[in-house]
Amino acid sequence: MGDLIAAYGLAAEAISSAEALLIGAGAGLGVDSGLPDFRGPQGFWRAYPVFRGRRFEEISNPVWFHRDPEQAWGFFGHRLNLYRTTAPHAGFEILHRWGQRCPKGYFVFTSNVDGHFQRAGFLPDRVLECHGSIHYLQCVELCSDVIWSAEETMVDVDQETVRAHQPLPRCPTCGGLARPNVLMFGDRQWVPARCSEQEDRYRQWLAEIDESRVVVLEFGAGKAVPTVRWECENRGNQLIRINPRDVDAPPGAIMLPVGALQAIQALDKIM
């Protein structure tokens, strides 16, 4: 208990003195909003019992938009509807306030495709969604590299079978089937243009803050797909890793083995 209290104190001091804040976020950040993190087969099956016996990596695969479009859009349509109707938890507002307070500002590096940072008020040009966003679509057949908003897209999903009813989202250019602009497993058809633009802004920000004191706050980033963990470990002057399970970190990092919302609220109280 004493070590945890000391870690909270060090983390609060680091955030308070930061000139710039890099926020790294994996699926664990959204758990406190009520979103599933699909951690391991059991976590995936709890969220989607109909897929018991199958892995998340198997279902989140572009092959199903060719083999079984109703299943593919049932899974992604259900998630789209869930992310739209679930409000970001209170911790997002606190993180935004911390970032705004930094003289050199903030940037978000996230593997989440739910769009909750933007919904919580984070500037769109300060968010890098390295796996894309479910709120944008592209053509399954790659008739072009056009990416468009899913704002007007409605997907009717059977809650028991997790299969989508016709009509399914279509490409406005060729009329063929559309899919989310999300990087899936085994995905060679993802159009990365939107993510590449975000990455360009991120690299520019990193160049601008090169000599600044950058604190990296990482939340709920797992080891199975360690993109966020790797990025956070290689940036900034101080890494603060917040994770109730995979909290181990390189020497010099501050580790808080608790959930995201609990940590954010406790740190805000100290600060």
pLDDT one-digit tens code per residue, 83-108: 999 999 999 999 999 999 999 999 99
pLDDT band at 40 (very low <50, low <70, confident <90, very high): confident
Please state, in angstroms and rounded to a whole number, the distance separating the CA atoms of residues 170 and 179: 8
Q: For a pLDDT cut of 90, what percent of the chain falls above it? A: 90
Its domain, for residue 72, covers 2-270
Active site residues: 131
Say yes or no to pLDDT of 10 above 80. Answer: yes
Which stretch of DSSP H or E encloses residue 76? Answer: helix 69-85
Domain count, the chain: 1
pLDDT for residue 224 = 86
pLDDT band at 17 (very low <50, low <70, confident <90, very high): very high
pLDDT one-digit tens code per residue, 50-80: 999 999 999 999 999 999 999 999 999 999 9
Specify the CATH number for the domain of residue 198.
3.40.50.1220
Any residues with CB less than 8 A from the CB of 190 and at least 6 apart, and which?
62, 132, 138, 181, 182, 183, 184
pLDDT band at 229 (very low <50, low <70, confident <90, very high): very high
Which stretch of DSSP H or E encloses residue 139? Answer: strand 132-139
pLDDT one-digit tens code per residue, 172-213: 999 999 999 999 999 999 999 999 999 999 999 999 998 889
